[in-house]
Amino acid sequence: MKILLIIGIVIAIPLVLAIFTKKEYQVEKKITIRQPKINVFDYIRMLKNQDNFSVWATMDPGMKKYYRGTDGHPGFVSGWESQNKNVGKGEQEIKEVINGERIEYEIRFIKPFEAIARAAMKTDSVAQNETLVTWQFDSRMNYPMNIMLLFMNIDKMVGNDLEKGLVNLKQVLEQ
């Protein structure tokens, strides 16, 4: 009987803790690129260009890709499917474009798990030929999986990939 009580407590503690744990998370990284704002924005608004700088796009060179719609405009979808468990299957859709300023995406992960995230890339002029690019990623983990947020460093996990992607973007645009 004591063993069942101990097992029940061990199971109950994380479930109760998850009730009080945040469900949403956001990661944001920035880099300055020596190019005029319009040049940078015109490049990042094209979703297909992420293949040239995004860490995630290069994880599996053999992944299958498909596209629907007009790139750089709301409704454009870029999809992928990979046997690599770190890549999986999903699609990204341009939701909003604020010309010259910001592009917003919805990312729909299908495999190895289902989830929806939001991402955005924003450009700000620092000087005539310098642009600050901000890449944001935010999502949520539903109860009871949100308990993992207590033990995961999301900023490091996702943030490192965003930072590497921004460094790659800088290299591409400053060539």
Q: What is the C-alpha to C-alpha distance for residues 32 and 51, in angstroms, rounded to an integer?
A: 20
Cβ 161 vs Cβ 56: under 8 Å: yes
Q: What is the C-alpha to C-alpha distance for residues 128 and 85, in angstroms, rounded to an integer?
A: 43
- In order of 14, 19, 91, the CA distances from 6 in angstroms are 13, 20, 44
Buried b (16+ CB within 10 A) or exposed e, 129-160: eebbbbbbbebbbeeeebbebeeeebeeebbe
DSSP state of 12: H
CB neighbour list of residue 12: distance below 8 Å, 6 or more residues apart: none
2-173 fold? Alpha-D-Glucose-1,6-Bisphosphate; Chain A, domain 4 (3.30.530)
Question: Residue 10 pLDDT more than 90?
Answer: no
Instruction: Give the tens place of pLDDT for each residue, 73-86.
Output: 999 999 999 988 88
Instruction: Give the tens place of pLDDT for each residue, 130-173.
Output: 999 999 998 777 777 766 766 777 778 778 999 999 999 999 99
pLDDT at position 158: 78
